[in-house]
Structure 1
């Protein structure tokens, strides 16, 4: 697949503070790439450098192999969507969406053609005459997205666009955004701290920590084969067993619980159930290990056949293939 954006030895410093240490990254055309990490890890700074709102201290950013250092944001073939929508309150939905095309003096017939297309894409045709204050948060974000895609940018940059929405609405818009990206074929670079959101939407995820990219891979590879302790503990839930100078990461769904008098070959450790949390078809069971200052989490699903209770003594085990050995 063709490379559309390349970051070559990019570094960002504010005074003497290194915010993004030097690294390189290539992004493919038509890809949905998510920059994922905790607050303050540098992901928004990186997005703003790609957009042109910040300049890298060293290194260069390329779009279609052309350097962007001297190209201002409005001349880069990309648009940005923000968490807070940034709509004009005195304009209707369609006026907000058409604003960029009018500034570029695109002819009226082409404006109308593109408007009808994007209104259908974002399901706002019936709301085109409404003002922003008459819209829900999700509808306002659809307007912001429509405004960003109406001029067919090569790249769409999205900075926590669903962060201000409630949980159920976020889930719904995640699917809509992913389908929109696939239908349009536009490269999406998406910033979020929400790992579930990143896993659900992305072709690849770049996990960031303290300005560095710790791992970049598909969601499945990030989850099943983390390369660092940070990735293993930041993405999903994990049990970290520290023994013999190594860290062994085992996901809760891979931990099996057995009666203490069962086949000893299955046992790895013994413990007592300290707590159990009911979550519908799933119970999170917490086991306090014998002789160790450690609590292990295991997932017990409806139909597993064993209803463990707080205070029960159990043995735990897992397949060797289900553990990931990580550097200390």
Structure 2
């Protein structure tokens, strides 16, 4: 388990929530957006720095700098107001050369956002197949509505997690998806004995025509329910599902599906770290091949001519044997 848990990085191209009433804003969204917003009234007064998508919905082409210094950028300059950060579209391709599990929009109600925004985000996901993008939702109706209308945008490197509880179970059952690509999983947060019982019933009744969940994420860092925890482990084993407890307790499993952790090497990293064998032309990491160079005279550096794989190097070496 890495220091962040089940994902490698957060990626927030969208922040905030369309629900303006303060008593209905989810605590995780409110705490993050308010903590990293700065002075919202001051930020909104700089109308030249943002575009208005519609009333209360904002778009940023460039990072919003703090009014107190030019060096710091504000993560959510408009607080919990829905904001599309277009400059973050380049993050997956330019910042990460190796494959990452990217947790998308953890501090936004993703599927309550304008579909025009979501289409742009999913296009970025499909353009970066070396990364794995994970979305979660506790609004399955809105989620299913968007997915069914935009199935063509869903690529194989995208995972969707339902926040499973008594309220969402019936909605999920009525909105089974027939995904052509992508993966589904179940996310448990603040779960109880009733939730565990409902989960077992739900998995038993899952229809054959619908793609089954491939993973269970127990996103509760303060797991103290030992008996229920073991019950969840038993249920996961019964249905052959990996289960990940997002806690530091070593007695509980931290299993991820193989498909979630499989990353391709990006073209950017290949250009830096990979090379072609000079004889057979196979592509391999440079540190797994022999470097072939020449040196003439004394006290001079060698010139690298190319690389050879193990098999081709053995053939090349024989030319110089007595």
Please state which band the TM-score falls in when normalised by the shorter chain: under 0.3
**Which structure is higher in strand share?**
1
**Which structure is higher in helix share?**
2
Taking CA–CA contacts closer than 8 Å with sequence separation of 6 or more, which of the two structures ends up with the larger relative contact order? 1
